[in-house]
Chains A and B, each alone.
Chain A
Amino acid sequence: MTEHVSDRLSRKASRHVKERIIEFLLFGAAAFSVFITVAIVYVLVKESWVFFETVPLSDFLFDTQWTPLFDDAHYGIMVLLSGTLTSSGVALLVAIPLGTIIAIYLSEFAGFTVREVAKPFLELLGGVPTIVYGYFALTFITPLLQKFYPDLPGFNLLSAGLVMGIMIIPYVASLSEDAMRAVPMALREGSYAMGATRLQTALWVVTPAATSGIASAYILGISRAVGETMILAVAAGMQPNLTFNPTEPGATITSYIVQVALGDLPHGSIGYQTIFAAGLTLLLMTLAFNLLGYWLRKHYREVY
Chain B
Amino acid sequence: MNADKLQRIRSIILRAKRWDLFFTLLGILSLMVGVLTFTVLFVDMAIQGVPRLNLDFFTSFPSRRAANAGILSAWVGTVLVMLLTALAAVPLGVAAGVYLEEYAPKNWITDIIEINISNLAGIPSIVYGLLALGLFVYYFGFGQSILSAGLTLALLILPVIIVATREAIRAIPQSIHEGSYACGATTWQTVRDHILPYSSAGILTGVIIGMARAIGETAPIITIGALTFIAFLPPAPFSGEPPAGLFDWIFAPFTVMPIQMFNWTSRPEAAFAVNAAAAGFVLVFMTLAMNGLAIYVRYRLRKNIKW
Contact = CB atoms under 8 A, between A and B. Distances in A.
A67 B253 CA distance: 30
B238 interface: no
B200 interface: no
Contact of B265 (A109, A135, A229): A135
A229 B124 contact: yes
B280 interface: yes
Contacts of A78: none
Query: Interface size for chain A: under 10, 10 to 19, 20 to 34, or 35 or more residues?
Result: 35 or more
Given A120-B295, A125-B34, A135-B280, A234 B262 contact: yes
Given A123-B295, A132-B283, A197 B262 contact: no
A140 B261 CA distance: 16
Interface string B136-156: 001000000000000000010
Interface string A4-36: 000000000001001100110111111111101
A40 interface: yes
Contact of A19 (B41, B122, B124, B187): B187
A65 interface: no
A57 interface: no
A152 interface: no
A194 interface: no
Interface of A: 15, 18-19, 22-23, 25-34, 36-37, 39-40, 43-44, 46-47, 98, 101-102, 104-106, 109-110, 118, 120-125, 127-136, 138-140, 166, 169-170, 197-200, 202, 220, 223, 226-230, 233-234, 254, 257-258, 261-262, 267, 275-276, 279, 282-283, 286-287, 289-290, 294
Q: Chain A: interface secondary structure?
A: helix
Contacts of B159: 33
Nearest to B92: A29
Contact of A136 (B44, B92, B138): B44
B125 A286 contact: no
Contact of A128 (B35, B216, B265, B292): B216
Contact of B130 (A44, A102, A135): A44
